Structure 1
Amino acid sequence: MHRLAAVIALVASPALVNATEMQIEIEGEGANGTVTIDLLEEVAPEHVAQIAALSRAGAYDGVVFHRVIDGFMAQTGDVQFGKMGGDMGRAGMGGSDRPDLKAEFSEVPFERGVVGMARSQDPNSANSQFFIMFDEGSFLNGQYTVVGRVTDGMDVVDAIKRGTGQNGSVVGQPDVMKSVTITD
């Protein structure tokens, strides 16, 4: 338990957390506004580097929230199949042209506002997709890589258009990440 408390203190420390910040401008039928995320380089350095590189290259601009489950999470980041205006029939099945990443599991708990990397059944398959938690999801702890935490704009996250069915697939026009920027 002491190790978990140390990890939580590390993640909550403003001096360490604010090194890299991601800002997402979201627009759509549900959400409209900016979400600010502190990327946790000390928790998942390789995953944060990948997200930052994709953001700086503009790869996330125009990517939709393709899977949104009320009370759970909003998933986005499929730069291959999830671009607004394209054939999004395969949104959620792609990644990027960058390599998949080895898992960087930590003891940081999946709480409201935590950002995690999406993956397939293979723990070492995270690439570009990520999700933002609407609520606590302790069943994800130690199973998915935590990469960040929302520090501003959680009201915008809460307004993201919800999907339907057990998988949370968004029907019709999904909300989109209009632009994603990184500041150091």
Structure 2
Amino acid sequence: MRLKALTIGLVLAAAPAAQAQETAATAPVAAPAQAPAQASADWRTVPADNLMIIDTNRGRILVELAPEAAPLHVERMRLLTRRNFFDGITFHRVIDGFMAQTGDPLGNGEGQSPYPDIKGEFTFRRGPETPFTPVASPAGAMLGFMNSLPIQTQPTSLMATTGDHKVHGWGAYCPGVAGMARDDNPDSANSQFFLMRQPYPALDKRYTVWGNVVSGLDVVRAIKVGDGDNGAVTADPDRMIRVRIASDLPEAERPVVQVLDPASAAFRTLADGVREARGADFSICDIVLPVQVSGAPAPAL
């Protein structure tokens, strides 16, 4: 079996805990900005089929899947979730200031699902129909949101010069972004994944982004940090107790997640305030989308 002990591959293997701690210490902190009161039209409801519910012993994490960015990986996450594959699996590798990794049925970094590995989806093609709201346009690029996912993309103006009238885009590894683990083979992702605790832009375009935590980042950051080599959790690791896709639950048991719509005026006011406050230090990771969760609470598991 392929050694998943290489976990997230060459970049992460070269990032010891001390380096990750330094990254956390210097990472941008969201600038204080007071968003205006939002009307009901300012909110976008996450589709139930794109809402992954991860109930852990630390609390509930809600992830919005991003099929526009990584359709093959989203399909795999839905498949494994619907097979109850993730239930009971531990967070076997956790580095403070970096990420929390899970999805290994063996719990040691060497396991995977019985399904074939997935071809890497490190970038995607963004067209005029892709939901995208720009917030900044550094030279030769655009930063913004595709639904709740922070992304970087080539300028929209380039669409007129491409054969498919689309441009490249990729997810930005901000706090809460969900990525797929792999070894040094770029097409070796399978079932192991990680949730970002802090920004780590060195991963951009090298590891597939398939979703974003819309609620429960505090839970991700509360997951027990590793005490072994390269962030391995050697004793009493935290675990996912139950993982479900919201659309597979009865309506009475589904949480309803609404995220401030990037297309709304309220979002524009928020983004402009953060960008102005941060100035030259602005990062797309500085913008934290307001979220409201209603409906069924997390069950006692």
Matched residue, 2:202: 139
Looking at structure 1, the residues matched to 44 and 194 of structure 2 have their Cα atoms a distance apart, in angstroms, of 23
With the length of structure 2 as denominator, give the TM-score of the two structures. Answer: 0.51
> Of residues 92, 97, 115 in structure 2, which corresponds to 1:98?
115
User: Which 4+ residue blocks in structure 1 deviate beyond 4 angstroms?
Assistant: 13-19
Q: Read off the aligned partner of 1:155 and give its amino acid letter.
A: D
> What secondary structure sits across from 2:72 in the alignment?
helix
> Of residues 230, 238, 241 in structure 2, which corresponds to 1:178?
241
CA offsets 1:116-162 (integer angstroms, 9 cap, x no match): 00000001000000000011110000000001000001111110000
Matched residue, 2:91: 65
Does residue 51 of structure 2 align to residue 21 of structure 1?
Answer: yes
**Given the superposition, is the C-alpha separation of residues 182 and 16 from structure 1 closer, same or farther in structure 2, using an over 3 Å criterion?**
closer
> Of residues 70, 73, 80 in structure 2, which corresponds to 1:47?
73
> Of residues 45, 63, 66 in structure 2, which corresponds to 1:37?
63
Q: Read off the aligned partner of 1:21 and give its amino acid letter.
A: L
Matched residue, 1:74: 100
CA offsets 1:153-184 (integer angstroms, 9 cap, x no match): 11111100000255100021000000000124
Structure with the largest fraction of helix: 2
Q: Which moved more, 1:94-103 or 1:160-169?
A: 160-169
Aligned-pair distance for 1:110?
Answer: 0.5
Q: Is the 8 A contact 1:17 1:40 kept in 2?
A: no
Aligned-pair distance for 1:94?
Answer: 1.2
Aligned-pair distance for 1:17?
Answer: 7.1
Looking at structure 2, the residues matched to 105 and 61 of structure 1 have their Cα atoms a distance apart, in angstroms, of 27
> Percent identical across equivalent pairs?
47
Structure index of larger Rg: 2
Q: Is the 8 A contact 1:22 1:36 kept in 2?
A: yes
What is the number of equivalent residue pairs in this alignment? 159
For structure 2, list consecutive stretches of 5 or more residues without a partner in the other structure.
Answer: 1-42, 124-169, 248-301
With the length of structure 1 as denominator, give the TM-score of the two structures. Answer: 0.82
**Given the superposition, is the C-alpha separation of residues 34 and 142 from structure 1 closer, same or farther in structure 2, using an over 3 Å criterion?**
same
CA offsets 1:48-75 (integer angstroms, 9 cap, x no match): 1101110110110000000000100000
For structure 1, list consecutive stretches of 5 or more residues without a partner in the other structure.
Answer: 1-12, 83-90
Looking at structure 1, the residues matched to 91 and 55 of structure 2 have their Cα atoms a distance apart, in angstroms, of 12
**Given the superposition, is the C-alpha separation of residues 138 and 18 from structure 1 closer, same or farther in structure 2, using an over 3 Å criterion?**
farther
